[in-house]
Chains A and B, each alone.
Chain A
Amino acid sequence: MYNFAFHRPTGLRQASNMLGKLEEAKILAGGQTLIPTMKLRLASPGNVVDLNAIADELSGIELKGRSIVIGAMTRHADVANSDVVKQHLPALAYLAGLVGDPAVRHRGTIGGSLANNDPNADYPAAALGLGATIHTTKGKYEADNFFKGLFETALGADEIITKVSFPLAKKAGYEKFRNQASRFALVGVFVSKRGSEIRVAVTGAGSNGVFRVASFEEALKKRFAPKSLEGLTIPATGMNSDIHGSAEYRAHLVGVMARRAVTRANEFAAGEGED
């Protein structure tokens, strides 16, 4: 990897200032994507701004009214193991437990994952699938306006995610079909039902990153059951196609994973927990 200068700000404002002033600056949160990318010389930031010195300030999981608020530097393992999350939003704990592997989950952070917006990552599906609000040093974004395509988000260059607020859903479920090599999502579908609002968010499949499936949401409004989705498909246009699966295959898997996610959501709601 190329050499660089690292900086360890002790406050958020200092961190933002550094990002604004330093050339080619990148945030280091958990580093589980950034460091491999730098090792392969695919990223070459001249400056790395490490948020770990202010990790305490940016970490934590809290039930606030009808939402769970998670600090940006909270590690995947902490979300997966959180009693609060397991009790109120088991689908989110379940999803966090599927990111990477145990060692990666000890380092990787929710803020880092959302800011990176890898088209095969799990967290974007949860954020979009629950209608989360992403809070930053400059304001906040609804998930629907946050993800802007492959590795692109609404974040400005000197903007840092501080926390993510997930509204509690009556029912929520996630189902992931892995790419057998990378173990990222080949297709992952997050479904939720909150009052009359139904969300179906898909990661891994789309050639432009995470997206919602309106036709599935519409069908689930009638009855939140896998049967409601039977026979429904989405077009293969706009799906990724590569050595791991054709666009047709991915489009098909979206339907399969959506039905299974609904089943899982109903199981979670019935208190049957994860499998």
Chain B
Amino acid sequence: MSATGIGAAVRRKEDFRFITGKGQYTDDISRPGQTYIHFVRSPHAHAKIKSIDGTETKTMPGVVAVLTGADLANDKIGNLICGWAITSKDGSPMKMSAHPAIANGKANHVGDAVAVVIAETLGQAKDAGEKVKVDYEVLPAVADPAKAQAAGAPQIHDVAPNNTIYQWHLGDQKAVEAAFKSANHVTKLDIINNRLVPNAIEPRAAIADYDAGNDALTLWNTSQNPHVARLVIAAFVGMAPEHKLRVIAPDVGGGFGSKIFIYPEEVVCLWAARKVGRPVKWVSDRSEAFVTDAHGRDHVTHAEMAFDHEGKITALRAKTIANLGAYMSTFSSSVPTYLYATLLSGQYSIPQIYCEVDAVYTNTVPVDAYRGAGRPEATFVVERLVEVGAREMGVDPADLRRRNFIKSFPHQTPVIMAYDAGDYNASLKKAMELADMKGFGKRKRDSARNGKLRGIGYSTYIEACGIAPSQAVGSLGAGVGLWESAEVRVNPTGSVEVLTGSHSHGQGHETTFAQLVSERLGIPIETISIVHGDTDKVQFGMGTYGSRSGAVGMTAIVKALDKVEAKAKKVAAFMLEAAEGDIEFKDGKFTVAGTDKAAAWGDVALNAYIAHKFTGAELEPGLKEGAFYDPTNFTFPAGCHICEVEIDPETGNTDVVAWTAVDDFGVVINPMIVEGQVHGGIAQGVGQALYEGTVYDKEGQLVTGSYMDYAMPRADYLPSFKVDTTETKCPSNPLGIKGCGEAGAIAAPAAVINAITDALGTEEIAMPASPATVWAALQKVQPRQAAE
């Protein structure tokens, strides 16, 4: 292993600009003559817009324009779309409503934009925004997904009777019913997977600039996938043809899924920039982010697991209602279906699984993928069922897991996925040692002496990453392919630029991708640049989400490097006057087998461009190759997280006192970065389990609309984490990578709740398990005593 190659903890190349304040985030960009846009938003969850009067607004200082949904419709700006078609079990297509970028006629959630004001300064735009007179007829609203389908519930979209978007299912219902009939033990749980607000610390932002001379638009925005944004805005919204629209996602301050989607604000900025003939800038306030960024999770589930007399799982069934909010966001439909039910086998050999999912509209902010997207929800169902099942049957939870682990690969689950490699017992064993399970009894007794309740919980999770084989997802309804692209440009002096369709917003691609190139070409990492996030530079790409950039994005680079190497060997053959087949390439040097003839990387690069050693008829000059890589399977990172908590029974406060994570991510490119990804994922998972609750009241008002009421994980709410890995190589990509970005968020919630319920002696605890919630639960039970 070289100091900067695969497996090395290389310090990040991108850090210098961030630690010196020289990052370039969207809000850091200003365009000459820019105006500021303010969105006037509905204060009501559900209301008819009877009229909008901007007369007074237009007279306010600095106002450039006041625009409404009617103006948008007049200009024939198309609706936003959901790009994954789900078919209901009766064969009917999902019921996608119109989603105009500015509401026209009816507002469907608090925060739905109803008008915009464009002014010389942001202050002026906001001042003027208050003068827009909107006459609302307030309608009854529904925010609770469990109530959305009820008779008499307020109807949000005509296209979707009973607010039902689809009623989807997966698995063999009859076989599952038969298995449950012959079960020795059945564990049943009602689960609410709480709604979360993503809260990347950089709020979303957009600046649109119109070049009238070329009739072309440029958009800078906070995107995880600028090419997909361009495609949707060109092809579906109809803003401009793709070649007349440039989308740039510069430094992006965290995404966690929320910056995948194509949002109304960027569409409106583009439209308005052309309309007013000046650049238009929008930066979300945090309060605005709470009511406009797509939220995550929000499932209501009943789940059951059947066991035979040996404690083997024979079947699992789940019925889930998934809240998709007021409109279908870009990938919303796929999250509670193909990203959820397909993972319900967990790490276990479960012969039969059946899952039904009803997706519903409510008068809430749209819900879409958030770190883990469906897989945390699935893991929570499976890992809670297994843990509770073990407790009910009086079996050690680790032992029950071991009994049911999949031990041979490949393994076909009953829910589509074909797991390719793993060693679940290895990660469980290592985690148990690191967590000092043997010493837990003593620690619990020590806690008890101090009046505290101690508990421990496992989560042996699996996820499907490396999203995804295009043909497979196409057959399941995806509107796009999920391959990735790369282009390797070798400069005449031998330095290298890699253009990737992945996008880095904290993941460190500028370092890890360069490590790959450094290792393959044997050149210093300082001579390699990674270019991403600009549709004018990178031809096309699918972006970063679903822990796909390593497994899919880097594999595309490998394929392009293969081609570069092949071409460079041709050049070297002419230089060294040898047969192409005799050229060997190692450590940045080309040699002729069996001789001492050699050419350095830089000389070959130069010769590729000066082209003095070969004719045009013999070889094309230049050294630049591109590749598209379409994965052949999902990847299956898996592992074991163990959470240890101490609860103060007097206040209900839970402290996470220890965390152990042992993950199998396949081959690790940069262990420092991988550990960082795990840390962040755990924090978000602990956030979901203990702190982050999104509350809508009966009128559909968001009660937790700021950090005053939405509790974010803070430094003193978390411990330091023990993080380690095991390794089984992923067989479906040449690097053996599985992906690591979401593991923590997927594993953590179940581990925390398993630990809390272990301490409390009741399974009745909702997330977030706030002090008030834990205290209330404790009033109903006698906590489990420390075993002597």
Residues of B contacting A244 with CB < 8 Å? 709, 770, 772
Chain A 158-201, CB within 8 Å of chain B: the 1/0 string? Answer: 00000000000000000001011111000000000000000000
B704 touches A256 (CB 8 A): no
Q: Which residues, 736 to 788 on B, are CB-close (under 8 Å) to A?
A: 770-772, 775-776
Asked, given contacts A2-B127, A243-B695, A249-B772, whether A181 binds B651 with beta carbons under 8 Å apart, the answer is: no
Distance between Cα atoms of A249 and B130 in the complex (Å): 40
Q: Min CB distance, A24 to chain B, in Å?
A: 16
Interchain CB contact under 8 A, A245 and B772: yes
Which residues on the A side are within 8 Å of B695 (C-beta)? 243
Q: Which of A221-275 contact B (CB under 8 A)?
A: 243-246, 249, 252-253, 256
Are the CB atoms of B711 and A253 closer together than 8 Å?
A: no
Complex-state Cα separation, A256 to B708, whole angstroms: 24
Residues in B whose Cβ lies below 8 Å from that of A41: 126, 130
Report the minimum CB–CB distance from A14 to chain B (whole Å). Answer: 29
**Which A residues are in CB contact (< 8 Å) with B703?**
243
Bound CA–CA A235/B695 (angstroms)? 27
In the bound complex, residues from chain B placing their C-beta under 8 Å from that of A246 are: 772, 776
* Interface residue A5 (Cβ < 8 Å from any Cβ of B): no
Task: Tell me the number of A-to-B contacts counted with CB atoms below 8 Å.
Answer: 48
A182 touches which one: B651, B708, B717 (CB < 8 A)? Answer: B708
Partner of B707, one of A1, A2, A182: A182
B677 to A: closest C-beta gap in Å: 25
Question: Whole-angstrom distance from the CB of B691 to the nearest CB of chain A?
Answer: 6
* A177 and B651 within 8 A (CB): yes
Contacts of A249 in B (CB 8 A): 652, 772, 775-776
**Is A103 among interface residues, defined by CB-CB distance under 8 A?**
no
Q: Which of A2, A181, A249, A252 has the most CB of B within 10 A?
A: A181
CB proximity of B305 to chain A, nearest CB, Å: 32
Whether A181 contacts B711 by the Cβ 8 Å rule is: yes
Confirm or deny: B92 has a beta carbon within 8 angstroms of a beta carbon on chain A.
Answer: no
Q: Which of A3, A177, A180 contacts B711 (CB 8 A)?
A: A180
Segment 1-15 of A: residues with Cβ below 8 Å from B: 1-3
Complex CA distance for A40 and B772, rounded to whole angstroms: 28
Interface size class of B (residues with CB under 8 A): 20 to 34
Contact B704 A243 (CB under 8 A): yes
Report chain B residues within 8 Å CB of A177: 651, 653, 771
B691 contacts across to A, CB distance below 8 A: 180-181
Q: Do most interface residues of chain A lie in helix, strand or loop, or is the interface mixed?
A: loop
Tell me, yes or no, whether B734 is within 8 Å of chain A by CB.
no
Task: Check if B546 is an interface residue, CB within 8 A of chain A.
Answer: no
Once the chains bind, are A181 and B709 in contact (CB under 8 Å)? Answer: yes
Could you say which of A2, A41, A245 has the most chain B C-beta atoms within 10 Å of its C-beta?
A245
CA of A246 to CA of B771, assembled, Å:
11
Q: How far is the CA of A58 from the CA of B704 in the complex (A)?
A: 38
Q: How far is the CB of A249 from chain B (nearest CB, A)?
A: 5
CB distance from A3 to the nearest CB of B (A): 7
A3 — which chain B residues lie within 8 A by C-beta? 123, 127
B374 interface contact, C-beta 8 A? no
Contacts of A182 in B (CB 8 A): 707-709
Give every chain A residue within 8 A of B652 (Cβ-Cβ).
Answer: 249
Cβ-based interface call for B287 (8 A): yes
B154 at the interface (CB under 8 A from A): no
Residues of A within 8 A of B775 (CB): 249, 252
Cα of A245 to Cα of B652 in the assembled complex, Å: 11
Query: B693: shortest Cβ distance to chain A, in Å?
Result: 7
Residues of B close to A253: CB separation below 8 A? 651
- Chain A 30-42, CB-CB to B under 8 Å as 1, else 0, gives 0000000000110
Chain A nearest CB, measured from B387 CB (Å): 25
Report the minimum CB–CB distance from A262 to chain B (whole Å): 14
Residues of B within 8 A of A40 (CB): 287
CB B636 to nearest CB in A, in angstroms, measures 35
State the Cβ distance, A248 to closest chain B Cβ, in Å: 8
Are A181 and B771 closer than 8 Å at their CB atoms? Answer: no
Q: How many angstroms from the CA of A246 to the CA of B772 in the assembled complex?
A: 8
* Contact yes or no, A181 B712, CB < 8 A: yes
Subset of 24 A-B contacts with CB under 8 Å:
A2-B127, A3-B127, A41-B130, A177-B651, A177-B771, A179-B711, A180-B691, A180-B711, A181-B707, A181-B708, A181-B709, A181-B711, A181-B712, A182-B708, A183-B714, A243-B693, A243-B695, A243-B709, A244-B770, A244-B772, A245-B771, A246-B772, A249-B652, A249-B776
* Chain A to chain B: the 10 pairs with minimum beta-carbon distance, closest first: A181-B711, A180-B711, A245-B772, A182-B708, A256-B650, A249-B772, A243-B695, A181-B709, A181-B710, A243-B703
